[in-house]
Amino acid sequence: MYSRTYKAVISAPPLLWVGLFLLLPYALMFAHSFWLVRDGSLIHHWNLQNYRALFTNPLYFQVFLRTARIAASVTLCSLLLGYPLAYYLSFHAGPRKELLYQLVIVPLWVSYLVRGYAWKTILGSDGVLNGFLQYLHITREPASFFLYSPFAVVLMLTHIYTPFVFLPIYAALEHIPRALVEASQDLGADRRATFLRVILPLSIPGLLAGATFAFVLSLGDFLAPLLVGGPSATMIANIVQSLFGAAYDWPLGAAISVCILLITVSLLFATERLEKRWSFK
């Protein structure tokens, strides 16, 4: 048995860390969301005005809807890319498996910002894509709609989050005993039926985990809209950023943050329950 002192000493640093850098900021944020700013100064007067503003001003709702739409698109696109990739690697890549796996993972080592700027370079009016299209005489003028659109944001976030979606799906597929696949074929199911009846259901926990990653991370993203999104792709986190910055309305920013946090937490809670329902020993 460990002594009381030992336990206290060993658990102090992580508790301190979590308390100082997680719980305290959240508590402050929560408190701020019930305060007010008047004439450029913070008033510690408890009220619900910020939340009322959120639900009465259609701007916030619109931006939030757009954010959810973008996050959903990113999730869908990265699932459509990540699942087949994971399936191929797990079941059909043979000896190339290791190498391909590393290739999928490599982008994770590259800074998010660098990848963002890379997309800016590719999609811009003088960018690689426009140059290529003009070279092929498909377009005459540089097209400006690639960059600074929700499409560009979805593209960039899909590129960034596909490995995050790939990883849990791949892990789930790798955990499926191959004897189950053989048993399915043995009982008369061809490849398609085996996939639909055995492999897909057994990979649902991985699929849910991947989808949650992509959706939640996209939901809170503010760099992609800044770099490649433009005003038409402003997301909820950009609003929060400006409220905490130039607009100097911390209480309203905090209220929005609390809402995002609640949505995220309930989403995580829901998917975890779903994952549990779909995992079997």
Q: Should residue 100 be labelled a site residue for other proteins when binding is judged by CB under 8 A?
A: no
CA terminus-to-terminus distance, the chain: 32
Task: Give min distance, CB of 278 to other proteins, in A.
Answer: 7
| DSSP secondary structure letter of residue 232 | G
Task: Give min distance, CB of 128 to other proteins, in A.
Answer: 45
Residue closer to other proteins (CB basis): 130 or 271: 271
| Site for other proteins, residues 216 to 275, rule: CB under 8 A | none
What is the rounded CA–CA span in Å between residue 86 and residue 174? Answer: 9
> 271: closest CA among 196, 206, 199?
206
Q: Should residue 18 be labelled a site residue for other proteins when binding is judged by CB under 8 A?
A: no
Among 37, 53, 72, 198, binds other proteins (CB under 8 A): 198
- One-letter amino acid at 184 equals S
Q: Should residue 195 be labelled a site residue for other proteins when binding is judged by CB under 8 A?
A: no
Instruction: Count CB neighbours of 136 within 10 A.
Output: 8
Q: Should residue 94 be labelled a site residue for other proteins when binding is judged by CB under 8 A?
A: no
Interface with other proteins by CB under 8 A: which range of 52-60, 71-79, 87-95, 184-192?
A: 184-192
By CB under 8 A, the count of residues binding other proteins is: 20
Bridge partners for 37 per DSSP: 42
Q: Should residue 184 be labelled a site residue for other proteins when binding is judged by CB under 8 A?
A: yes
What is the rounded CA–CA span in Å between residue 59 and residue 96? Answer: 50
Residue closer to other proteins (CB basis): 52 or 273: 273
What is the rounded CA–CA span in Å between residue 35 and residue 83? Answer: 45
What is the rounded CA–CA span in Å between residue 99 and residue 104? Answer: 9
Q: Should residue 39 be labelled a site residue for other proteins when binding is judged by CB under 8 A?
A: no
Q: Should residue 133 be labelled a site residue for other proteins when binding is judged by CB under 8 A?
A: no
Residue closer to other proteins (CB basis): 183 or 262: 183
Q: Should residue 280 be labelled a site residue for other proteins when binding is judged by CB under 8 A?
A: yes
Interface with other proteins by CB under 8 A: which range of 18-26, 93-101, 151-159, 173-181?
A: 173-181
Among 1, 114, 136, 179, binds other proteins (CB under 8 A): 179
Q: Should residue 185 be labelled a site residue for other proteins when binding is judged by CB under 8 A?
A: yes
**Contacts with 133 (C-beta within 8 Å, 6 or more apart), sequence order:** 139, 143
Among 193, 247, 262, 265, binds other proteins (CB under 8 A): 193
Phi first, then psi: what are they for 42, rounded to 5°?
Answer: -75, 130
Q: Should residue 95 be labelled a site residue for other proteins when binding is judged by CB under 8 A?
A: no
What is the rounded CA–CA span in Å between residue 87 and residue 92? Answer: 8
- One-letter amino acid at 16 equals L
**Contacts with 220 (C-beta within 8 Å, 6 or more apart), sequence order:** 237, 260, 264
Q: Should residue 98 be labelled a site residue for other proteins when binding is judged by CB under 8 A?
A: no
What is the rounded CA–CA span in Å between residue 154 and residue 147? Answer: 11
Positions touching other proteins (CB under 8 A) are 177, 179-180, 182-190, 193, 197-198, 201-202, 278, 280-281
